[in-house]
Amino acid sequence: MPRTMTVLFGGTGPDWEYREAPVPDPGPGQVLVRTGAVAFNNADTAMLDAADQYVAGFEFAGEIVAVGEGVRGPAVGERVMGTTPRSFAQYVLADHRHVLLVPDGVGYEEAAALPTGLLTEHGALSPGSFQAGQSVLITAASSGIGLIGVRIAKAIGAGMVIATTRSVAKRELLTRTGADVVVVTDEQDLTQAVLEATGQDGVDVVLDHVGGQTFADCLPATRVDGHVVNIGRLGQARSTIDLDALSYRHLRLRGVSFGFTRAAELGAVIAELTPQVLPAVADGRIRPVDTTLPFDQANTAAARLRTHQAHGKVVVSMP
Ligand SMILES: NC(=O)c1ccc[n+]([C@@H]2O[C@H](COP(=O)([O-])OP(=O)(O)OC[C@H]3O[C@@H](n4cnc5c(N)ncnc54)[C@H](OP(=O)(O)O)[C@@H]3O)[C@@H](O)[C@H]2O)c1
């Protein structure tokens, strides 16, 4: 095992820097993973613009090279994908409950793009808010995790998936990903379009990645007793909602932020998705990669995310 490794370091300027850091030892309950690939999220570019000095990254895939005391399940030599802060590094420490086995036949580049999207979108759909056959509205469905949400909803039996994008150019992408109906919000009224697609009833479940006015527009587009889950605030964190729409429709509102979830609860969310979603990863139904770049081009990857050019996840393969 080498004593030092290269990490992507943020907070010193507009771009990440490559720095040398010691390879950590796994503590109790932790696994040490030699990363094969890491993937980018919107939160990475947001942190790069705002945060103090830090090692960047949230998701990875690679091989377990050491385990700490009390680790049950994952073992040295196994191929895993997982989520943890400071993942943009050649070696990553993760809670053993926060890694999943990579199915046979799935490479590290594909696997690294999955953990955040799988746990966020599946965790937002369950528990209790979704049953097979129901309709799901996914806003900003063209985002990295939104595209995974569309695929998960289809894989676990959604009757209808309605996907939104601001751009007509991404309509085809969403249809190809599995959306039954695409709403282009720069051209169509979101509420009206969803009501039309659902025979005026509204959808059973909303996964909202936008917030602001979009979140407000989703409420009258949700059926009586339906669920609205806010996942992201790509537009705005503040929203003025119509309380009549909320009350008359008996809606249930929920917010999720898995980065702020306690370790054991996050482990339970990951354990729950394993039997439902990993088969769809294994057979190729959930493959979200847009671009794979070498580690020394991480700042090019960030530019692709910032300019909203990506049609899926941006991945960096590790040396
Ligand atoms: N709750 C959680 O635990 C959790 C976990 C991960 C991510 N998130 C959140 O989920 C959201 C998506 O993350 P991501 O990494 O998948 O994002 P991403 O890939 O960077 O998403 C980019 C896409 O979002 C759409 N978009 C950007 N700004 C928008 C706006 N103002 N209004 C509407 N659409 C907009 C654009 O698509 P179009 O051009 O097609 O409109 C753009 O291509 C973020 O807000 C992120 O913070 C939450």
Q: How confident is the model over 89-109, as pLDDT tens digits?
A: 999 999 999 999 999 999 999
Strand order in the sheet with 4-10: 17-22, 4-10, 54-55
Q: Output the CA 305–ligand 1 centroid distance in Å.
A: 10
User: What is the value of pTM for the model shown?
Assistant: 0.96
As given in the structure block, the two tokens for residue 305 are 């995310």
The reply to whether ligand 1 has any atom less than 6 angstroms from the CB of 148 is no
Q: Tell me: the pLDDT tens digits for 288-299?
A: 999 999 999 999
Q: Report the range of poorest mean pLDDT among 10-14, 79-83, 209-213, 215-219.
A: 10-14
The reply to whether ligand 1 has any atom less than 6 angstroms from the CB of 120 is yes
CA distance 113 to 290: 10
C-alpha 152: how far from its chain's center? 11
Q: Tell me: the pLDDT tens digits for 190-243?
A: 999 999 999 999 999 999 999 999 999 999 999 999 999 999 999 999 999 999
As given in the structure block, the two tokens for residue 135 are 């309709």
Task: Tally Cβ neighbours within 10 Å of residue 258.
Answer: 17
Does residue 13 surpass a pLDDT of 90? Answer: no
Ligand 1 nearest atom to the CA of residue 305, by list position:
20
Atom 8 in ligand 1: which residue has the minimum CA distance?
Answer: 232
Res 45: pLDDT: 87
Identify the CA nearest to 63 among candidates 9, 107, 18.
107
Ligand 1 nearest atom to the CA of residue 255, by list position:
1
CA distance 16 to 84: 18
Does residue 142 surpass a pLDDT of 70? Answer: yes
> How many alpha carbons lie under 13 Å from residue 110 in its C-beta half-sphere?
16
Q: Tell me: the pLDDT tens digits for 269-285?
A: 999 999 999 999 999 99
β-partners of residue 99 are 82
As given in the structure block, the two tokens for residue 3 are 């004593």
- The residue that leads in pLDDT, 127 or 267, is 267
Identify the CA nearest to 183 among candidates 214, 149, 155.
214
The overall average pLDDT reported for the chain is 95
Atom 5 in ligand 1: which residue has the minimum CA distance?
Answer: 120
Residues with Cβ within 8 Å of 309's Cβ and at least 6 positions away in sequence, in order, are: none
The reply to whether ligand 1 has any atom less than 6 angstroms from the CB of 166 is yes
Domains identified in the chain and CATH numbers = 4-114+288-317 (3.90.180.10), 118-257 (3.90.180.10)
Mark 176-189 as b/e (b = at least 16 C-beta within 10 Å): ebbbbbbbbbeeee
Q: Output the CA 272–ligand 1 centroid distance in Å.
A: 24
The reply to whether ligand 1 has any atom less than 6 angstroms from the CB of 308 is yes
Q: Tell me: the pLDDT tens digits for 159-199?
A: 999 999 999 999 999 999 999 999 999 999 999 999 999 99
Res 128: pLDDT: 65
Res 314: pLDDT: 96
Identify the CA nearest to 285 among candidates 132, 110, 126, 123.
110
Strand order in the sheet with 252-255: 181-184, 160-165, 135-138, 203-208, 222-230, 252-255
Does residue 127 surpass a pLDDT of 70? Answer: no
CA distance 17 to 309: 23
The reply to whether ligand 1 has any atom less than 6 angstroms from the CB of 42 is yes
Atom 47 in ligand 1: which residue has the minimum CA distance?
Answer: 232
Q: Output the CA 301–ligand 1 centroid distance in Å.
A: 16
- The residue that leads in pLDDT, 230 or 14, is 230
Ligand 1 nearest atom to the CA of residue 40, by list position:
15
